[in-house]
Amino acid sequence: MTMKPALLFYCQHSLGMGHLVRALELATALAREFAVVFLSGGRFPVGIDVPQEVTIVDLPPLGMDAASQLISLNERYSVDAAKALRQRRIMDTFKALRPAAILIELFPFGRKKFADEIIPLLEAARAMSGVRPRVFCSLRDILVGGRRDQQLHDDRAARTANTYFDAVLLHADAAFVRLEETFQPSIPLEVPVHYTGFVTSVRRPAAIELREPCVLISAGGGMVGAPLLRAAAEAQRRLGRDAPLPMRIVAGPFLPDEEWRALCRTASAAAGIEVIRTLPKLGGMFSRVTASISQCGYNTAMEILASGVPALVVPFSQGYEDEQMSRARRLARLGLVRVLEPSRLTPSTLAEALSELCRFRPKAVTLDLDGARATADLIARLVAEGHAARKIAFNKDQRRHLGQLA
């Protein structure tokens, strides 16, 4: 039996779990072509399915606090101790695996605080004897903008990508957004950019008329979803018998415990509200309900599009985090979702928007949603081409060397 080439996949999710969910979907597709080893750098939520064919290497989990500072999510380790152990584990895994490909999620376009463990990995890959690994960046559709040092950030990312990476894989449809719209370095980005299509596991199901009469309320992992979840529960309580649909609220595994308890109290005082702490396969739920109210993270947005559910999105927007707002407005212009600006979020405005949502029918989706398969095919082809090119170059050098000896 032919052995699959090895692929090392680095993923650091810091705030929610969107990066992790998308990365695991990619890892599942990649496992058809590669022996995938997955470096997991954040909290791994209970109930998340790990593909059987993917090997998970857990790093001591790190995350970010409200001030965007690194924190250890394992009380056994300080941040410094966790970082030291992570660096050793990453390098030990690389040396044992000797991968044909390395896939880095987001870096260098984000995750600057993790450069001290990623750059040594990339340096080791570049210095590896024989056929070196092909190095790719896995990038979502829209980058965060509005940093005070945005130009410095973009220039640093371009230099790093040009130095260490063979390609950038942008998980989007070029008809929806292009990298240069949210990434504008003053130096040229020389590494090629490939548009893979959007990544999602959800597929369009039965007609809306055949779905459960229910509005699904969700906020991804829930870490920053409390304002939306609270407003939804209170809106349903105020509507009472006038509520157009029963409400199912999925809090998310990272919703703080005190917020979860408050949500349960509000729900218990109202009719027509079901609250669930977490669902392992939340994406599949969009295909079975008649309406959705959510934030507008990448995974949720793709699940909405793929399922065809009429959706209202209330994008998360805090500080320079403008990515969800940009995505939501683009989708609304295409007639695919309705948008409630987060500055207008109240129980009253949400109750009014819910009534309007029940009459909304999204337009047909024409965007490419097959990004996981396309990514696996593309990496397999680029790895094969790279190995063939290096073999040809080696054979030419070898013949030249032999000719000099003759």
**What confidence tens digit (pLDDT) does each residue in 61-114 have?**
998 887 778 999 999 999 999 999 999 999 999 999 999 999 999 999 999 999
What's the mean pLDDT in 386-404? 44
| Sequence-distant (≥ 6) Cβ neighbours of residue 55 within 8 angstroms | 35, 36, 37, 38
Q: How far apart are CA 103 and CA 27, in angstroms?
A: 10
Torsion sign, CA atoms 93, 96, 98, 101: negative
What's the mean pLDDT in 352-362? 93
Q: Give φ, ψ of 338 to 5 degrees.
A: -105, 155
Q: What is the CATH number of domain 6-198+370-400?
A: 3.40.50.2000
Q: How far apart are CA 265 and CA 229, in angstroms?
A: 12
- Nearest Cα to Cα of residue 121 among 164, 153, 83, 154: 164
The pLDDT of residue 202 is above 90: no
* pLDDT for 405: 30
* pLDDT for 154: 96
Give the three-class secondary structure for 321.
strand
Q: How far apart are CA 196 and CA 155, in angstroms?
A: 24
Which residues, in sequence order, are bridge partners of residue 275? 249
Buried b (16+ CB within 10 A) or exposed e, 52-65: eebbebebbbbbee
* Residue 70 structure tokens: 């690194």
Q: CA of 124: how far to CAs of 14, 119, 128, 219, 354, in Å?
A: 25, 9, 6, 39, 53
Q: What is the CATH number of domain 208-357?
A: 3.40.50.2000
Residue ranges of the chain that CATH labels 3.40.50.2000: 6-198+370-400, 208-357
Confidence tier at 392 by pLDDT (50, 70, 90): very low
Burial of 41 (0-12, 13-18, 19+ CB in 10 A): buried
Q: How far apart are CA 309 and CA 293, in angstroms?
A: 10
- Nearest Cα to Cα of residue 22 among 154, 192, 196: 196
Mean pLDDT of the chain: 90
* pLDDT for 400: 43
The pLDDT of residue 398 is above 50: no
Element holding 218 (H helix, E strand): strand 212-218
- Nearest Cα to Cα of residue 202 among 369, 81, 360: 369
% of the chain beyond a pLDDT of 90: 75
Buried b (16+ CB within 10 A) or exposed e, 179-194: beebbebeeebebebb
Instruction: Indicate the range of 139-143, 147-151, 263-267, 390-394 predicted with least confidence.
Output: 390-394
Report the alpha-carbon angle 122-124-128, nearest 5: 120
Confidence tier at 181 by pLDDT (50, 70, 90): very high
Confidence tier at 207 by pLDDT (50, 70, 90): low
**What is the reported pTM?**
0.89
Q: Judge if the upstream peptide bond of residue 280 is cis by omega within 30 degrees of 0.
A: no
